[in-house]
Structure 1
Amino acid sequence: MTDVLENSRVRAVVDPERGARLTSLRIDGHEVLGAASAPGVDPAIADGIFAMVPWAGRVRDGVVVADGVAHQLPQADGPNALHGLGHVRPWRRSGEGTYAVDLGGPWPTQGIATLRYALLDAGVRIELTWDDGTDRPCSIGLHPWFRRRLDTGGELEADLRPTTMVERGADGLPTGELVAARPGPWDDCFTLAADPVLTWSDALHLTLRSSADWWVVYDEPGDTICVEPQTTPPDAFGHPTLHPADGWPHTVWLEITA
């Protein structure tokens, strides 16, 4: 059974059984979330807005090392692990718009992930927290699929203003180097010079704000675009140059406002 949060301008639908993901977000009557139509995309990651926890993005060969011990994560992107454990688990309701799930092995620690959805006057705030009682490395994020075309108005124009870009090697994973942003299309991680803005002319104008320093942008599909706030770049665990300077954040929030 799904849960509905709504006010005069916003209607959000959450499915606790599918990772407590946001399966629908209507703002001023426009559905802004979509689903990947490309063949071969895992349905578990192909729609709505879902939590990436306790890691976000790809992990090379699905291996993380903690206290000298290698832990094998589920391999979902060829040999690599992808997008954590939370998006494929049912979450329990712990309050209005609030959900939680216990996660552990094969991840090295045991913890609780919490998702909180709060409606704004013209949007929604989503907050994801990972609490394993430690300050060990983790990487968390939120993964939205936005439609390129709404029910009316022009095609999506994304104002992203990338600055620093995480270099990817021939295998598609980070090399650990930071480079100047290159032209798209992208399946890449960036810092941005300003909050991302998504505009469908004559229909809707959205601003995305987040606590995250990093954004993954996936704009290769013709019908959707992903703009994903993450606390670290993908595969950061294996690259000291990508480690956060002030410890590993255990909370990330995203606000989507019209």
Structure 2
Amino acid sequence: MTSSEKSIRLTAGTAELTIDPENGCRISGLRIDGTELLRQGERFGCFPMVPWCGRIENGQFRTGDVVHQMPLNSGAHAIHGTGRDTSWRVARTSGIEPEGRAAATESRAAFTYDLGEPWPYSGRVTQTFELAEGSLILTMGVETYDSSFPAQAGWHPWFRRNLGNGDVHLDFSPAWQEERGENSLPTGRRIEPVPGPWDDCFGMPDGVDVTLTWPGQLRLRVTSREEWVVVYDEQDEAVCVEPQSGPPNGLNTLPRLVTPLEPLEVSAKWSWQRL
């Protein structure tokens, strides 16, 4: 993969991570021993979901008596937040100056963007990437110095289904599956997990823990202290394992407030080994 002049490339051992801050601060590539793990294309890679994850019903959420309307970009719903459609700034990092240049060591980088329209509240989002030879740690924070508001955060990776030796196998043991209604949103009823294909949210109260195994190639484990994960495997090209801080439509059904004293902080870890 060829990095653009404005992308940032991190390396650690045989791992190479490419981040595109101008295209939603998404990971545009992750190569292990020269093998690309992520589906390529400007809409793919791995993008941050913030300040909400998944769909908001009819694009609307309420804070008190006020109903907020987000742009509809998934049929009748608003999906995946605004962060993926925003240009992020490189954050100031010790030893790197001035702000706006590549604030990255060889294996670490941090980025920010300020919340704004169409999101109705002010705040700042920070995303950090820490690459090691056998792992990647992702962190994201949402903070406000003004009004409190509900928010969610998470990641939407598009892992390639096949690396050459057969399709990827998913292994995870959720405590429940959120029943999905005809409108593609959770109904509020928890059910026993059913076989895929999925575009579904699962509950893992002890923390997200999903293993992807590409036969004869690589095993990758996605973990997070968050208890929600969406698995999407309805496309031939890729499989998505999305750790997130709440379920789809959670701004309405399970709001988690960001306050001046309590920011929202989420993290996830990808760790891998060759087979």
Provide TM-score, normalisation by structure 1. 0.89
Give the match for residue 152 of structure 2: 139
Provide TM-score, normalisation by structure 2. 0.84
Please report how far the alpha carbon of residue 22 of structure 1 lies from its aligned counterpart in structure 2 after TM superposition: 0.3
Question: Partners in 2 of 1:184 and 1:13 — Cα distance?
Answer: 31
Q: What is the aligned counterpart of 1:29 among 20, 26, 34? A: 34
**In the alignment, is the contact (CA less than 8 A) between 1:138 and 1:249 conserved in 2?**
no
Give the match for residue 109 of structure 1: 121
Question: Partners in 2 of 1:238 and 1:177 — Cα distance?
Answer: 15
Please report how far the alpha carbon of residue 170 of structure 1 lies from its aligned counterpart in structure 2 after TM superposition: 1.4
Give the match for residue 177 of structure 2: 165
**In the alignment, is the contact (CA less than 8 A) between 2:152 and 2:256 conserved in 1?**
no
Please report how far the alpha carbon of residue 161 of structure 1 lies from its aligned counterpart in structure 2 after TM superposition: 2.2
- Describe the SS at the equivalent of 1:56: coil
Give the match for residue 66 of structure 1: 63
Matched, 1:217 2:231: yes
Give the match for residue 124 of structure 1: 136
Gaps of 5+ in 2: 1-5, 92-102
Gaps of 5+ in 1: 37-42
Question: Partners in 2 of 1:67 and 1:90 — Cα distance?
Answer: 31
Backbone CA RMSD of aligned residues: 2.0
**In the alignment, is the contact (CA less than 8 A) between 1:120 and 1:257 conserved in 2?**
no
Please report how far the alpha carbon of residue 90 of structure 1 lies from its aligned counterpart in structure 2 after TM superposition: 0.5
Matched, 1:8 2:20: no
Question: Partners in 1 of 2:198 and 2:215 — Cα distance?
Answer: 23
Please report how far the alpha carbon of residue 244 of structure 1 lies from its aligned counterpart in structure 2 after TM superposition: 6.2
One-letter amino acid matched to 1:163: A
One-letter amino acid matched to 2:200: D
- Describe the SS at the equivalent of 1:237: helix
> How many residues are aligned here?
246
One-letter amino acid matched to 2:76: P
Give the match for residue 47 of structure 2: 50
Post-superposition Cα deviations, 1:84-106, rounded to whole Å, max 9, x if no partner, equal: 01100110101321110011233
Please report how far the alpha carbon of residue 67 of structure 1 lies from its aligned counterpart in structure 2 after TM superposition: 2.7
**In the alignment, is the contact (CA less than 8 A) between 2:143 and 2:263 conserved in 1?**
no
Question: Partners in 2 of 1:182 and 1:154 — Cα distance?
Answer: 23
Q: Choose 160-169 or 227-236, whichever is displaced more.
A: 160-169
Matched, 1:78 2:91: no
Question: Partners in 1 of 2:166 and 2:246 — Cα distance?
Answer: 33
